[in-house]
Amino acid sequence: MEHQEQREEEEEEEEMKQPGAKDRVISGPISDSSLTSFPFLSSSPCPGGGCEDDEVRVAIVTIEDESCPSEPFGTDSHLETTNQIAQRCGEGDEKETGGAEGDHGEKEGKEEEEEENGELTSPSLHLLSQVKRKLDHGPDGRPFPSGKKRCKGTGYLSPATLVQSTAPPAFDDLRLAGGLSARRRVSSGPPPSGLQDWLRTFQTWSGPERLLALDELLDRCESGQVKHVMQVIEPQFQRDFISLLPKELALYVLTFLPPRDLLQAAQTCRYWRNLAEDNLLWREKCREEGVSEHTSSRRRRRPGATTSQWKSAYIRQHRVENNWRKGDVGEPTVLKGHGEHVITCLQFSGDLIVSGSDDNSLKVWSALTGKCLRTLAGHTGGVWCSQMAVATVISGSTDRTLRVWDAESGECVHTLYGHTSTVRCMHLHGNRVVSGSRDTTLRVWDVSTGRCEHVLTGHVAAVRCVQYDGRRVVSGGYDYNVKVWDPETEACLHTLQGHSNRVYSLQFDGAFVVSGSLDTSIRVWDAETGRCVHTLTGHQSLTSGMELRDNVLVSGNADSTVRVWDVRTGQCLHTLQGPNKHQSAVTCLQFCRGLVLSSSDDGTVKLWDLRTGAWLRDVVALQSRGSGGVVWRIRASDTRLVCAAGSRNGTEETKLLVLDFDPEEGE
């Protein structure tokens, strides 16, 4: 017995040294201990359990494809494989030892040939294999069960491949395995003669021969015939993975899409559209894009509409953004009413516009209809400054008074006396307004009662600008100084000295004070310590207006340029100039929605990209631009722009221009 085993081992070693031995069928006695290497052969497959000297035939196939077994252990295919092995063991009992060894070589050579041909006898499988691997099909052409992933290892041995399958799957089998229904055949008449003979001949060819025949056949097909082949093959590779997932997982996958891609995905099919209408999904997308909740409910919904409110809000914002940037709006609404006088101040709240003029009056306009709703008359001097909150308007005049108005009724609620010279500036916060005057003082007023609560004294020249955040008052004057006040104690906390000329503009966000002066510089101050943090240089003239938000400062200057700064570092991020820059002094500016709006003495309003500093377009261009036309003031909301325009030489009528970038809002 030992001599026989030694001889068999030597024969096996010789066979392994021969070319192609790795794919050979190994025959010979296999002990119970060796069978334990294969889980599905751990119990003896031989009848009676006495298999120590029985012959078992196992085909060992090297797996070069990096894929997992297409079916788990214990499935019908694996049980069938075990039965085949058991049957071969039974056949081995009936044969004599010599006869079995004699037949072994003949069968081995035949099975090797079948294996070599079997790997290539399915051209359809060969053509589809590259794409089918991406669709999670196993080496036997069957789709993986749901949730199964490909293995990364290169030496994984599938139990289904331990015994060579009888024949590779046909393309129609792959269709049915993939869950597709049997395709309809072309019904263009009876089949051509000799078709069945040709098909039988095709089946007798080897894999490479079939591929060559297919290549030649496709070369001889017309475009319509090739299109038919594509229509047959393409559905095999189309898999709607979203529809196969539970709704919760499908929605989770969609959260990774940006809103624009989500809108495109909704056009795929009805099920995808239903998923893409999920209100919570769009709420998160709107929060990512900065769309507020109140925006989603501004427009009326059509009866029976199922579109998500948050989705509608995003679509609206996207449309408005495009209208701002590309100018997809109609002609502006023109409002006339101040004669030839200069519009000195402009406020805009909701659907109400309030303009103040040196004709001693203010006018209230409807932004929807363009009509003048009422005229606020009562001042005996020109109106130089104003503030507005909802329907409450406060105005300051050369008649040394402030007046509180109800814009809805036109009634003057309070007249505030106290200043001894022109009220030049003011700032409203909550129920309090702080006014600055040429009499060098500042006064804090209660708007609801009209009572003067505090008087701040310390400047030695006219107060030109003021800011109030509800806690601190900051003022700039013609005495070159900036002062920080505690309005409750009326104490001056800091006097910020450094400018060498009049201070004309201020911004205050609670942490930084930013002052612009006729000395061409802009200074950034620490509001708590009074220390000058940065001196921003680059402008060549008076800084007439500034906007500060989220540590980004935008400044407009009489040198015709607009600059964007980082107040934390003092760095100039952009200078808005170039071939499309303003041709005269910048009169007013505002930034919102990542855009900068600037008006000028040259009669234009220009739109710039805040992030890149690029000029986008001229939003307004007066007919008399360059010859006297001026845009004095601008005010903008998310959807509207109001411009106060006119001229100093009579070339342009005094008027308001209203541009609506959401024309469907009122529908």
pLDDT of residue 395: 97
pLDDT of residue 175: 58
538: left (phi over 0), alpha (psi -120 to 50) or beta: left
Q: What's the chain's average pLDDT?
A: 78
Instruction: Tell me the C-alpha distance between 263 and 277, whole Å.
Output: 9
- Strand, helix or coil for residue 510: coil
Beta strands per DSSP E along 411-498: 411-416, 423-429, 432-437, 442-446, 452-456, 463-468, 473-477, 482-486, 491-496
Bridge partner residues of 523 (DSSP): 515, 535
- Of 189, 157, 135, nearest to 40 by C-alpha is 157
pLDDT of residue 246: 92
- Nearest 5°: the CA angle 95, 96, 102 is 95
What does 256-284 look like in DSSP terms, one character per residue? TS-HHHHHHHTTS-HHHHHHHT-HHHHHH
Instruction: Tell me the C-alpha distance between 220 and 152, whole Å.
Output: 41
- Side-chain-side CA neighbours of residue 264 (13 Å): 4
Instruction: Tell me the C-alpha distance between 109 and 175, whole Å.
Output: 34
- Of 498, 508, 444, nearest to 474 by C-alpha is 508
The low-confidence residues of the chain, meaning pLDDT below 50, are 13, 16-122, 124-165, 296-299, 666-667
- Residue 430 phi, psi (nearest 5): 65, -125
pLDDT of residue 167: 59
pLDDT of residue 547: 94
Pairing of strands 543-549, 552-557: antiparallel
pLDDT of residue 182: 60
pLDDT of residue 291: 80
The strands making up 629-636's β-sheet, listed across from edge to edge, are 333-335, 655-660, 640-647, 629-636
